[in-house]
Amino acid sequence: MNTSHRHNNRSHHASGHRQDRFGRQTHGDSTQRRREFLWHERLRLHQELLRVNAQEVQVQLDLQALQQRKVVLESQRPKLVGQIILSGLVRRSIQTPDEMNFHYAMQRFHQEESELARLGNQCIAERMMLVEQIKVIESEIALL
């Protein structure tokens, strides 16, 4: 049997620590496993952070597109005001289809705007939480 093989067979001592091929004690398996777990967890959290950042960017883009559509709709308001005045002159109290569509579209814009704001705030909170978790893991890794 060759000597390096004998050293490998005698790598465990009664204390539970391992020795390298020169007989020096190495870090315990549990510390190494903990370090590996923390690195994997840190990577997982970074990937999650990238996902949240991408979602936050998408929410901002959606909000910008919504604002642009809202500007186009708002530009139609003067035409509707003229129709409302005319319908008032003829004493017609029923809204025209254009008026109803305008009001419905404005309600939808406000609903979408509220939902996008909620999603944006959720992304911010999630991002802050992930950053804090990463900091905790990094400090624990530094202590190992």
Q: Are 135 and 41 in contact (CB under 8 A)?
A: no
The DSSP secondary-structure symbol of 95 reads P
56-70 pLDDT per residue, tens = 999 999 999 999 999
Annotated domain spans of the chain: 3-143
Residue 36 CB: number of other CB atoms within 10 A? Answer: 10
5-58 pLDDT per residue, tens = 444 444 444 444 555 566 555 556 888 999 999 999 999 999 999 999 999 999
Query: Would the pTM count as exceeding 0.75?
Result: no
70-95 pLDDT per residue, tens = 998 888 777 777 766 666 666 656 66
The average pLDDT across 107-122 equals 96
Gap between the Cα atoms of 144 and 65, Å rounded: 48
